[in-house]
Amino acid sequence: MKIAIVGTGYVGLVTGTCFSEMGIDVTCVDVQESKIKSLKKGIIPIYEPGLEDMVHRNYTAGRLKFATDLEECLDEVEVV
Ligand SMILES: NC(=O)c1ccc[n+]([C@@H]2O[C@H](COP(=O)([O-])OP(=O)(O)OC[C@H]3O[C@@H](n4cnc5c(N)ncnc54)[C@H](O)[C@@H]3O)[C@@H](O)[C@H]2O)c1
């Protein structure tokens, strides 16, 4: 299943990462380009125990993606 999550703050990043850990293909979208650039480099903007490892693992596996344009991924996902 492919889903998109809007916002990569405390709620969106944690939720999206946990879904990807469950094997779901997740694109996390945020309007802040700098935040998305950092996430793609593995820099996590918040602290939650275990989150950094989980983001790295799922990003590397290709199950977790980061983007700034929600419209661009709408054709690919079933749920936003
Ligand atoms: N954090 C909590 O415990 C909590 C509890 C209940 C409700 N909420 C609600 O959940 C929502 C998210 O909370 P949070 O703590 O993750 O906030 P946050 O500020 O940490 O993250 C929100 C993210 O959404 C992004 N964003 C804003 N508008 C956007 C748009 N149009 N498209 C894409 N990205 C966009 C922001 O750039 C930011 O990175 C808020 O509405 C908040 O009120 C949060």
CATH of the domain at 10: 3.40.50.720
Cα–Cα distance, 12 to 9 (Å, whole number):
5
Residue 38 inside a domain? The answer is yes
Residue 45 to residue 73: CA distance in whole angstroms: 23
CA of 5 to the centre of ligand 1 (A): 11
Q: What is the pLDDT of residue 54?
A: 97
Q: Is the CB of 8 under 6 A from ligand 1?
A: yes
State if residue 23 touches ligand 1 by the CB under 6 angstroms criterion. no
16 belongs to a structural domain: yes
* CA 29 from centroid of its chain's CA atoms: 7
13 close to 51: Cβ distance less than 8 angstroms: yes
The string of pLDDT tens digits covering residues 8-64 is 999 999 999 999 999 999 999 999 999 999 999 999 999 999 999 999 999 999 999
Q: Is the beta carbon of 29 within 6 A of some atom in ligand 1?
A: yes
* CB 36 less than 6 A from any atom of ligand 1: no
Determine, yes or no, domain membership for 78.
no
Domain count, the chain: 1
Output the pLDDT for position 2.
98
Taking the C-alpha atoms of residue 41 and residue 36, their distance in angstroms, rounded to an integer, is: 9
Question: Closest by alpha carbon to 68, among 23, 36, 26, 22?
Answer: 36
Domain hosting residue 22, numbered range? 2-73
